[in-house]
Amino acid sequence: MNFYATDTFLNAAAEAFFPGRAARIENVAFGEEVLRLLVIDGKPITRLPFLDVHQPLASHEISGTPQKGGFARQVVREILPLQSEYPADPNIMLAPFVDWSLFSSFAAYKDWQLNRHRSRMRDLERRGRSLASQQGEITFTRDDTAEDVLPFAQHWKSQQLIATGHDNYFARPETLAFFQALRRQGALTVSTLRAGGKLASVWIGFIHDRVWSGWVFTYDPAYKKYAAGHQLVGRMLEESYALGHREFDFSEGNEDYKLLYASHARLLGDIGRAPLKRRLVRFAKENIYALSPALLQKIKGLKAALRQRRALAEVRS
């Protein structure tokens, strides 16, 4: 099972997001498919902060009679090579990843990247050399437990979330409580890149069942011209291959940097019967997309701008 269905993840979520509530972990059936979920006060919880991908359980992972569920989002529907054509469905999300079984060596993976994105990869290499020559020795740490890491990551990511109009999840104490709960279980992996001893970029995530994944990817804006985030990801990918991992998983989202590195993508969709509001939103998306994909993107951009305005108002108040 994937990390999001493990006792480790679900117990940390219960501790951080539902303190003092009656919590247990149960298998829940949505038609023919079964998910392993946190159940709070008798109610299955299908949406949690940092729960990015639901993977239905394999038959050998199911024991007993699952309770019945209603509806869940972001469930794996299919896995396709990244170059494939995806269903023309605005409700389908991507979760890109690198399948290491395709590559006989990390050098082979680098060659594959160059064949796809030669100018971009050469530019990132040039920026990496500039970072080292201008800022000092580059140091990569797979799991950095230094006291400065989480505060810097919180500060940089909060700035980015506010500037782009997204929810600033780092403003809530539950976020750090969640990461701390995972750290106590030895399940949090915080990777860093330092230049001349100074922290430049951070990735907060986990390694589970030979898959490296995560949620928070951020960098010091002072190092933007060096592509400090990409310099960190490049070293993480090489480390992942050296460790014999099955995958490097970028989690949900089709951001450009994920598509730059990934070989495959999981297609995420809904299972069960959606609530009326969700069905209406889905209907609207499908019809607007059929009329004009560009119009749907403009609407999404307007929603992002409104989120940004609200976020800035909260900061100023």
Q: Does residue 5 surpass a pLDDT of 80?
A: yes
**Are the CB atoms for 17 and 174 separated by under 8 Å?**
yes
What's the pLDDT at 125? Answer: 96
The amino acid at residue 130 is S
Specify the CATH class of 97-267 in words: alpha beta
Mean pLDDT in the chain? 89
Q: What is the pLDDT of residues 248-289, one digit of tens each?
A: 999 998 889 999 999 999 999 999 876 555 545 555 555 555
**Are the CB atoms for 71 and 211 separated by under 8 Å?**
no
What average pLDDT does this structure show over 116-124?
A: 95
Residue extents of the structural domains in the chain: 97-267
* pTM of the complete model: 0.85
* Residue, of 65 and 183, whose pLDDT is higher: 183
Q: Does residue 309 surpass a pLDDT of 70?
A: no
Instruction: Give bridge partners of residue 39 from the DSSP assignment.
Output: 24, 44
5-12 long-range contacts, Cβ below 8 Å, gap at least 24?
5/35, 5/36, 5/37, 5/54, 5/55, 5/57, 6/208, 8/182, 8/185, 8/187, 8/208, 9/51, 9/182, 9/187, 10/36, 10/37, 10/38, 11/181, 11/185, 12/178, 12/181, 12/182, 12/185, 12/187
How much of the chain, in percent, has pLDDT values that exceed 90? 76
**230-to-121, 190, 256 alpha-carbon distances in Å:** 10, 16, 11
What average pLDDT does this structure show over 303-311?
A: 50
What average pLDDT does this structure show over 167-181?
A: 93
Q: Does residue 199 surpass a pLDDT of 80?
A: yes
